[in-house]
Structure 1
Amino acid sequence: MKFNIVGLMSGTSVDAIDVSVFSVRVDKHKPIKDNNADQFTYKIKERAFQKVPWSESTRLLIFKLFDPEKSNVVDLCEANFILGKEFANAVNKVLIDNQINSNEIDLIGSHGQTIWHNIVRENNDEKVKVTSTLQIGCISVIANITGITTVGDFRVADVINGGQGAPFASIFDYLMCRNIIGDGGHDGDGIGIQNIGGIGNITILPNNTSKYEPLSFDNGPGNVLIDWISTKISNGLLTYDKDGEMGQKGRVNQQLLDMMIKETPYLGFSPPKSTGRELFSFQYAQQWYDIGKQQCGIQDDTDFVSTFTELTAVAIANSIREFTCIKVKHLYIGGGGSLNPYLMSRIQSNVGEHTLVHKHNQLGIDSESKEAIIFGLLGLLNTLNLGVDLSPFTGSKKPSSSNNNINYTPLVVLGKSSPGKNHLELIKKMYQFISFYWPVHQDKQYHQQLGRTE
C-alpha cells in the first residue's frame, strides 16, 4: 500500500526547516505475526525537497531558548506556537512550489525543534541517562494550518521506556539499509552509517545479525563547534566552514585537542548514549576558545577551525574502535558534515586505511533529505501502530512476549498525532492496511483492541 507523506526536520544547527515530500510503499508478502515494523519492506520515492530558512527572529528565539540563563517560560510557550506556524508555512510553501495538492498528502511527520535533552550521569560512572526531552513546534498548529494530520513528539515514548531518545536515524538505517550492505569480507564485518549534523551519530549494521546486534549512539560533536567558530571568524557572514576552506588553512593545535578529549568525559562513555547542545553548546565552544588563546598560544583563529574539526573526526574514529564489536569495512557519511571536504579527509585519516569512507548518497539515499524522511516514516509507523525494537539503538527496554506475562514490554510505537481535516480518510486507509495484513481470524485479540469484531 502506498502513502504520501511530508517529513519535517530542524536539527541542532538550526540552519533551516528540511521539508521532504515523498511516497512510501509498504509491502509484505505473508501475513505478519505482530506489529513489528521490521517485517515489512519500505520503498521510498522522493517527490520534492527544500530547505526553508527560519525567519531571523525565530532563529534568534530558538538560540535564546537553548540557554537556560536567558530563556523563560513565556518565551517557551510562545515559541511552541511560533515554530508550529513556521513548520506549517514551510509545508504549504513546498507543496505550492512543487504543484502538489495538499489533498494528496496522507500525513505529516514532524520532528519539531529540540530545545533541551536532559542527560544525567548515573552514579558518576561512565553511563548517561536521559530523564526528559523537549521538542517544540506544536503539531496541532501544524495540523490546523495545513489541514493534514500531523504526528510528532517521537522521542518521549523511547525515553519513558528507558531509552536515550536518540539517535533515531538508526531506525531508518536499519529498516532501509539492512538489505543493501554489500560484501562483508569475513564473518562479523559490517558497515557504519555516520550522520554529521550539529551532533554526530552513528549506526553500525553487522553482516552477521545472528551473532551481532545493530548498534547506534551519538558519538559527539558534529558541526556545532565548527559552525560557532566559523560564525565568529566571519563576523556572522558565514554560519559554517564553507567547503572546509578555513579548516584547511589552519593547523591543529594538539595541546588544545588533547585537553578537550581528556576533559570531555562523554567521549569515553559506553553506549547507549546521546548528547546535544546541553553539552556541546556555544558556552562549551567559548570556554575552549578562551583556553586555546590563554594556555595554548593560539593566535590564528583558523587554528580553532582546524582543531574543532579534528575533534569531530577523532570522536567518530575513536567511537568506532572502542565501542563496536565488528570491523567496520565501509563508513558512509551523510548530513551537512559530508559536504566539508576537509572534515571528510580528516575522518578518513583517523579511521585508517582498513575502513573506507564514502558519501551517504552511495547507498542510494539522499543524505540531505534523509532526516526529514526519517520523521515522515516514523509518522507513518505511528499511524499504522507499528513498533520497533529500540533496545540495540537507544538502550530502551527489550520487548518481551505477552504470553502469560503481565509484566511484558511491548514494542515501542513512537509519537502522538493531531488530526487534520483529512483524518477520516487517513483512518479508512489505515483500516485497509490492517485488514489486508491482519485478518480477524488470525489475531482476534489485536482486532478487538481496535474495536473490530467478526
Structure 2
Amino acid sequence: MPEEGETRSAFCLGEDTVISAITGITTVTDFRMAEQAVGRQGAPLVALIDGLLLHHPTKWRVCQNIGGIANLCVIPPDTEGGVDSMVDWDCGPGNLFIDNAMRYFTNGEMEYDKDGEWSSRGTVCQDIVDKFLNTNKYCNHVPPKTTGRETFGDNEGQEIIDECLAAGCDKYDTLATITRITAQNIINETGVPSDAKEAVSFAQQAMEAILGRPALVPINSDNLLPNTISGKIAPGRRWREVMKSSIKFGEGRSTLPTVKEMIVQRPYTSWKAMQAFD
C-alpha cells in the first residue's frame, strides 16, 4: 500500500520476449503494470476468473485464494449485479509466515507444513494472534488494498516466531499460532482445484489481451476505467496464426464487449471452458 505521494509500482521476475524467443510461444506478461497504468493497484488479479466461473443467479459467492498472500473475491447474485458488482482485495498473509517458520525450525530442510502436520500438534497462543490482527496496519486497512512480501516478508515472520518463543511456545505451538493468524484473517467459502486455478486465471487474462477486450473491473477498484491493454505481448512463431484466430473470433467487430459469462463444457475440475458474450 503506497503512502500518499508515493508511486505505485511492481517488480516481477520474467521477461516475455526471452520466454517467447526460447519457446516460440506467444507470451503475455505484465498484468500488474497494465492495471497500474490506468490508476489501479495492480492486484489481486484473479477476480475475472472467479466472477466468470462462480457467479450464480440467486446466491452470493465468496472465493478465497490462498497463496503466499491470501486474496478474496465476493460475487453478488446476478439479481444484485453479479459480476458487474463483484469486489476483491488482498486479505493479508497466506502461507508466507507458515513457510518461513517451517524453514526456520528445520534449518531449511522443510519448505512448508505438509497437511498441517506440525500446526495440528501445537496449541495456539491466542493473545499473540489477537495482538497481531489488532495492531497490524494492513490488516486493519479497508479495501481496496493489495500487499506482498514487502509487507509480510521473512523479517515480519521472524518477529512473530520470536514473540512465540519468548512466550514459551515450542515449534508446534508456534506453527499453530502462525497458522491461526492466517486463518483468522481470511474467509474460506468455495473450494477450487488449487493446482490449476492461477494458471487458468492468467491464461484467461492473456486471451483478453490478445483479443483487445476489456476485462471486468471489481467495483471497489480505485479506478473503474476499462482497460483494453491488459498485458504486454511478445509474439511467438505462430503469431500470425494467433492474430488470424483473434480476428475470426471477433467476427469483424471493431470492439468486443466485456465477457460476463463462462460456459463450462466439462466438470469444473477439468478446466475446459468456452466463452459466451453477455
Task: Determine the C-alpha separation between the residues in 2 that align with 1:246 and 1:174.
Answer: 35
User: CA contact under 8 A between 1:390 and 1:396: conserved in structure 2?
Assistant: no
- 1:263 partner amino acid: T
Instruction: Look up the equivalent residue of 2:189 and give its one-letter code.
Output: L
1:199 aligns with 2:69: yes
CA distance in 2, matches of 1:389, 1:396: 14
1:120 — aligned with what?
A: 2
Q: CA 1:281 to 1:398, structure 2 compared with 1: closer, same or farther past 3 Å? A: same
Partner Cα distance (1:309, 1:379) in 2:
34
Preserved CA contact (<8 Å) 2:160 2:178: no
Residue 193 of structure 1 aligns to a residue in which SS?
strand
**In 2, distance between residues paired with 1:210 and 1:203?**
14
Deviations 1:36-64 (A, max 9, x none): xxxxxxxxxxxxxxxxxxxxxxxxxxxxx
Aligned-partner Cα distance in 2 for 1:224–1:259: 19
> Which residue among 281, 286, 289 is the counterpart of 2:158?
286
Q: 2:198 maps to which residue?
A: 371
Q: Tell me by how many angstroms 1:313 deviates.
A: 1.1
Specify which of 197, 215, 227 is matched with residue 388 of structure 1. 215
Q: What residue in structure 1 maps to residue 224 of structure 2?
A: 398
Distance 2:58 2:194 in 1: 22
Corresponding residue to 2:106 among 209, 234, 239: 234
Shift in Å at residue 309 of structure 1? 0.7
Which residue in 2 is equivalent to 1:43?
none
- The answer for the alignment partner of 1:413 in structure 2 is 229
1:206-251 Cα offsets, whole Å, 9 max, x none, are: 1133398211101011111111111222222211111111111111
1:150 has 2:20 as partner = no
Contact map agreement 1:389 1:398 (CA 8 A) in 2? no
8 Å contact from structure 1 (residues 152, 415) kept in 2: yes
Supply the AA of the counterpart residue of 2:153.
S
Asked if the contact 1:158–1:412 (Cα under 8 Å) also holds between the matched residues in 2, the reply is no
Paired with 1:142 and 1:245, the residues of 2 have a C-alpha distance of 38
The letter for the 2-side match of 1:192 is V
- Give, in angstroms, the shift of residue 412 of structure 1: 4.2
- Of 82, 87, 90, the residue aligned with 1:215 is 87
Q: Is 1:174 aligned to 2:44, yes or no?
A: no
Runs of at least 5 residues in structure 1 that lack an aligned partner in the other structure: 1-118, 124-128, 185-189, 318-329, 333-358, 361-365, 400-409, 448-454
Distance 1:437 1:205 in 2: 32
- Structure 1 distance, partners of 2:213, 2:7, is 24
TM-score, with normalisation over the residues of structure 2?
A: 0.84
Higher Rg of the two aligned structures = 1
Q: SS of the counterpart of 1:216?
A: strand
| 1:423 match | 239
Residues 2-27 of structure 1, C-alpha deviation per residue, up to 9 Å, x if partnerless?
Answer: xxxxxxxxxxxxxxxxxxxxxxxxxx
1:331 to 189, 197, 212: 189
- SS of match in other structure, 1:398: coil
1:294-323 CA-partner distances (Å, limit 9, x unpaired): 3xx224111111111111111114xxxxxx
What secondary structure does 2:73 align onto?
A: strand
Query: What is the alpha-carbon distance in structure 1 between the residues aligned to residue 207 and residue 132 of structure 2?
Result: 41
- Answer yes or no: is the 8 Å Cα contact 1:130–1:163 preserved in 2: no
Q: Hey, what does 2:276 align to over in structure 1? A: none
- Computed over aligned residues only, the root mean square deviation of the Cα atoms, in angstroms, reads 2.2
1:98-109 to 2 correspondences below 5 Å: none
Q: By how many angstroms is 1:183 displaced?
A: 5.4
Deviations 1:98-151 (A, max 9, x none): xxxxxxxxxxxxxxxxxxxxx31349xxxxx87111212111111011111111
Contact preservation (8 Å) 2:47, 2:218: no
What letter corresponds to residue 209 of structure 2 in structure 1?
N
Aligned to 1:77: none
Higher relative contact order (CA 8 A, sep 6+): 2
The secondary structure found in structure 1 opposite 2:208 is: helix
Q: Describe the SS at the equivalent of 1:265.
A: coil
Separation in structure 2 between the aligned mates of residue 430 and residue 262 of structure 1, nearest angstrom = 50
After TM superposition, list the pairs within 5 Å mapping 1:296-315 onto structure 2. 297-315=167-185
How many residue pairs get aligned? The number is 254
Deviation at 1:413, TM superposition (A): 2.9
Residue identity matched to 1:157? A
Alpha-carbon distance between aligned partners in 1 of 2:207 and 2:32, rounded to the nearest angstrom: 15
1:413 aligned partner, one-letter code: I
Give the secondary-structure state (helix, strand or coil) at the position aligned to 2:42.
Answer: coil
Q: Is the 8 A contact 1:163 1:391 kept in 2?
A: no
Query: 1:158·1:396 contact (CA, 8 Å) conserved in 2?
Result: no
Structure 2: 5+ residue stretches without partners: 257-278
Mapped contact 2:20–2:236 kept (Cα < 8 A): yes
- In 2 relative to 1, CA 130–201 (structure 1 residues): closer, same or farther, beyond 3 Å? farther
Amino acid at match of 2:178: F
Following superposition, the deviation at residue 175 of structure 1 comes to 2.1
The 5 Å alignment of 1:132-143 reads 132-143=9-20
Q: TM-score, normalised by structure 1?
A: 0.53
Q: CA deviation at 1:378?
A: 0.9
Deviation of the 1:437 alpha carbon: 5.5
Give SS of 2:132's match. helix
